[in-house]
Amino acid sequence: MLFKARLKPIAVVAVFAATLLSPIVSADSGDKILESRCVECHDLKGSGPASLAELWALKGPSLAYAGNKYKQPWLEQWLAAPTRIRPAGMFYGNHIKPGADEDVVNKDSLIKHLALSASEAKAVSAALMKHKAKSELITAGAYKPGTISLRMGELVFDKFRGCLGCHQIEPGYGGVSGPEVYTLGNRLQEDYIISFIQDPQAWSPLTFMPNRPLKDKDLQKLVHYFRALAKEKFE
Amino acid sequence: MSNSKLKMLVASLTLVAAPVVIAAESGEDLYKTYCWQCHGMLANGMGANIADMSVQPRDHTDNKEMTARSDEELFKAIKDGGQAIDKSALMPPWSGVLSDDEIQSLVRYLRELCKCGK
């Protein structure tokens, strides 16, 4: 009896300590996964490619500023069940071939992203949020929440600015060299989107996204549109 | 300061001050990176992005069409976008991405593609 009574408080303390420690252990294991399984294709610390040859060799986006770029809930669910975001891969030039009419995506050459277990995805997404390179490019609160109809949003995105040329606004509709934008509203932080469109090369040196001067009101409308698009169900 | 120390200091300052030499990218490599996406791997205006475009990009192998364009016009279209020469807004301005020298390299490469050097 006496032995059991002594054990009980020890067990309670142990459980309490484990609860306190678990987030730390989790983020720590996320760092380990990043270093062991992600670093082969993703830049975790560098500043980006310094030449076109380095740009062409990229296998995945930089994660050095993942904490400024991605929304953590999206990261966690995507890492466990990845889908294709860039229809023609990281550098489209490596994954296209001449077709009967226009060039087509060479799907056999695309690399499938590995899937993590639910617990690994949670740990890695938490660890990624600590990667905050280039914070000086972000203005907190740059995006002012608002709404736009899908029809008007598409006008701003496509007719006025030609963004559809490179980005898909629904699966299979739009260009293939850039990442799709129909999940963008769930995927990326709004203040990051504003900053990136204003100066893509500052975030992603040598990127083949043009740098178009846009008025703030048009930037805001584009982000309203991405948020509206992300609510659509395309399946 | 001793002579050898002074020499070391000068040597280290020279290292720090040495300009970073970045090899210039060729017109061909610039074309592959920035132009293929719309103008195509074969430069025939049939890029991977065009399926849902309202206007087909310029065929850069079209000798007749390209001969009708001066180097200045080509430079302006690349630098300031299609609208700067009364063409489509789908051709974006590249001035925020490419230097004037790089745009000149692209113009020279376009002349090779169309075999219509001016």
Please give the interface size between A and B, counted as residue pairs whose CB atoms are below 8 Å apart: 92
Mind giving me the DSSP string for A102-155? S-EE-GGGPPPPP---HHHHHHHHHHHTT--TTGGG--TT-S------HHHHHI
Domain ranges of chain B: 25-114
Inter-CA distances, A26 with A20, A73, B45, B87, Å = 11, 16, 51, 55
Nearest to A102 among B25, B34, B46 (CB): B46
Residues near A213 by Cβ (< 8 Å), separated by ≥ 6? B96
Q: Is residue A90 part of a domain?
A: yes
Mind giving me the DSSP string for A163-185? GGGTSEEETTEE-SSS--STTHH
Residue A21 has pLDDT above 60, yes or no: no
Check A50 against B52: CB less than 8 A apart: no
Q: How far is A16 from chain B (nearest CA, A)?
A: 54
Q: Note down the domain range covering A20.
A: 2-55+62-230
Q: How far is A87 from chain B (nearest CA, A)?
A: 10
Residue A13 has pLDDT above 70, yes or no: no
Give the count of domains, chain A. Answer: 1
Q: Using CA of residue A54, residue A60, residue A66, residue A70, what is the dihedral sign?
A: positive
Inter-CA distances, B55 with A68, A87, A135, A170, A193, Å = 36, 21, 39, 20, 27
Q: Give the ipTM.
A: 0.86
Q: Which run of H or of E encompasses A97?
A: strand A96-97
Superfamily of domain B25-114: Cytochrome c-like domain (1.10.760.10)
pLDDT of residue A6: 54
Angstrom distance (rounded) from CA A234 to CA A34: 32
Give residue A234's pLDDT band: very low, low, confident or very high (50, 70, 90). confident
Successive 10-residue mean pLDDT values, chain B, 118 residues: 54 48 84 98 98 94 96 97 91 95 98 88
Q: What is the pLDDT of residues A43-80, one digit of tens each?
A: 999 889 999 999 999 999 999 999 999 999 999 999 99
Residue whose C-alpha is closest to residue B99's, from B38, B34, B37: B34
Q: What is the pLDDT of residues A203-222, one digit of tens each?
A: 999 999 999 889 999 999 99
Q: Is residue A36 part of a domain?
A: yes
Q: How far is B7 from chain A (nearest CA, A)?
A: 32
Residue A15 has pLDDT above 60, yes or no: no
